[in-house]
Amino acid sequence: MKKIIFMDRYPIYSLELLKDEMRVSSMDEVAAYFKDKIEKHPVAKFIALFDHYAHTKALNGEIADGILDARNIIFCFGPSIPNTKVLAVRPRSIGICEFEDKFVIEFMEAPREEIHQIMQEWAKGLTK
C-alpha cells in the first residue's frame, strides 16, 4: 500500500491491484469480500454500500477517464465514544474503483493504528 497526502491534508492509503492478480474479478465480488470481512469482525458493523458511480452519473457529474464503477463500503469499528471528537472520524469508508484492468482500493488513515492495520490486511487479502 502506498500512503499519499490528498489535498495537502488527508492521509490516504491506496492499493492498485491488477485484476489478474486478484482472487475476485468483479465489483460485486470485491464489495462482497469487504462486507464479509466487516461482518466477521467482532467489533465492526456494516452500514451501507454506496454506489458513488451511479450517484455521480445521475447528477451528470464528472467521472475520471477510465473509471468503470466506483463504490464506498461504509462501516464502523467504534466500540466506545470516549469524546465528541471521535464521531468526526467515524464511520470508516473504503473506496473501490474499477478500471478495465485493475481495481484501486483507498481509505483514509484510521486514528487507531490497530484499525488501520486491519483495513490494510483486508485490502491486501484480495490478492491471489
pLDDT given for residue 92 in this prediction: 94
Comparing CA positions, the residue from 110, 105, 78 lying closest to residue 94 is: 105
**What phi and psi, each to the nearest 5 degrees, are found at residue 105?**
-110, 125
What letter would DSSP give residue 3? E
Domain extent, residue 47, equals: 18-102+112-124
Give the model's pLDDT for residue 48. 97
Based on the structure, what is the number of domains in the chain? 1
Tens of pLDDT along the chain (128 residues) come to 899 999 999 999 999 999 999 999 899 999 999 999 999 999 999 999 999 999 999 999 999 999 999 999 999 998 889 999 888 888 999 999 999 999 999 999 988 889 989 999 999 999 98
Query: Would you say residue 5 lies in a domain?
Result: no
Return the SS3 of 65.
Answer: coil
On whether residue 79 sits in a domain, the answer given is yes
- Dist CA 101 CA 27 (whole Å): 12
Burial class from Cβ neighbours inside 10 Å (0-12, 13-18, 19+) for residue 107 reads buried
Residue 3 lies in a domain: no
- pTM (two decimals): 0.93
Domain presence at residue 68: yes
Q: Is 85 within the bounds of a domain?
A: yes
What does each C-alpha distance from 48 to 7, 72, 75, 94 come to in angstroms? 26, 8, 7, 11
Q: Is residue 36 part of a domain?
A: yes
Is 2 within a domain? no
